[in-house]
């Protein structure tokens, strides 16, 4: 610290520095820490993340099958790893499959037009550095929760969709073969 500063300023800066140093371990300990071996994003509000026993490509295919089996529609797919592979670049697997159904979309929009930003609802399949594959999604009730303008109607839609999305996740990571 420059000696040109008044002594009182130097003492105050030293006291603040000591106080910050004393509080740092508590502040670090208070930070949310990801669960062991889960991807860091898995700790986001409402996120459900489960390790898949299947390889990455099989998990993505099983997810598409499970979406259809549970009466939803794969509205869109995106995969940076597939795009990178087309360019000759290899990165860990990741894919987003977006699922919804028009009858739910019509009801959701009747309840809350702003909530339409969230549809279709995403499932995210990732592969970590150790080769483990993870399936993540937010339950529809958590996805729609910020949209208070939707009232009870939007809450009811989320509650109706939650078990469907949970079944999709369970079927994806389950051991039983899935048929289209």
- Residue range 102-114, pLDDT digits in tens: 999 999 999 999 9
The SS3 of residue 78 is: strand
Q: Which residues of the chain carry a pLDDT beneath 70?
A: 1-45, 178-180
For position 175, what pLDDT does the model report?
73
Two tokens at 101? 């159904």
User: CB count, 10 Å around CB of 38?
Assistant: 17
For position 46, what pLDDT does the model report?
84
Looking up tokens 């930070």 gives 31
For position 28, what pLDDT does the model report?
31
Beta bridge partners of 95: 125
How far is Cα 7 from Cα 1, in angstroms, rounded to an integer? 11
Q: How far apart are the first and last CA of the chain?
A: 70
How far is Cα 174 from Cα 176, in angstroms, rounded to an integer? 6
How far is Cα 79 from Cα 68, in angstroms, rounded to an integer? 19
Rounded to the nearest 10 degrees, what angle do helices 151-173 and 102-111 cross at? 150
For position 4, what pLDDT does the model report?
56
Rounded to the nearest 10 degrees, what angle do helices 151-173 and 56-69 cross at? 130
Two tokens at 2? 């420059």
How far is Cα 155 from Cα 157, in angstroms, rounded to an integer? 5
Q: What is the largest CA-CA distance in the chain?
A: 78
Looking up tokens 């919804």 gives 100
Two tokens at 144? 């729609």
How far is Cα 15 from Cα 42, in angstroms, rounded to an integer? 39
pTM of the model: 0.76
């Amino acid at each position: 610290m420059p000696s040109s500063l008044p002594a009182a300023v130097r003492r105050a800066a030293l006291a603040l520095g000591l106080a910050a140093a004393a509080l740092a371990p508590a502040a670090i300990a208070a930070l949310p820490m990801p669960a062991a071996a889960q991807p860091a994003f898995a700790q986001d509000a409402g996120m459900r993340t489960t390790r898949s026993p299947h390889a990455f490509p099989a998990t993505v295919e099983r997810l598409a099958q499970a979406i259809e089996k549970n009466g939803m529609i794969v509205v869109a797919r995106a995969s940076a790893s597939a795009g990178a592979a087309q360019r000759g670049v290899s990165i860990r697997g990741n894919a987003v499959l977006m699922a919804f159904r028009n009858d739910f979309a019509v009801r959701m929009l009747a309840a809350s037009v702003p909530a339409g930003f969230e549809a279709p609802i995403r499932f995210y399949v990732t592969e970590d550095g150790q080769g483990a594959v993870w399936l993540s999604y937010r339950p529809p009730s958590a996805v729609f929760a910020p949209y208070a303008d939707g009232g009870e109607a939007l809450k009811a839609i989320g509650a109706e969709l939650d078990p469907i999305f949970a079944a999709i996740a369970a079927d994806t990571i389950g051991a039983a073969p899935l048929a289209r």
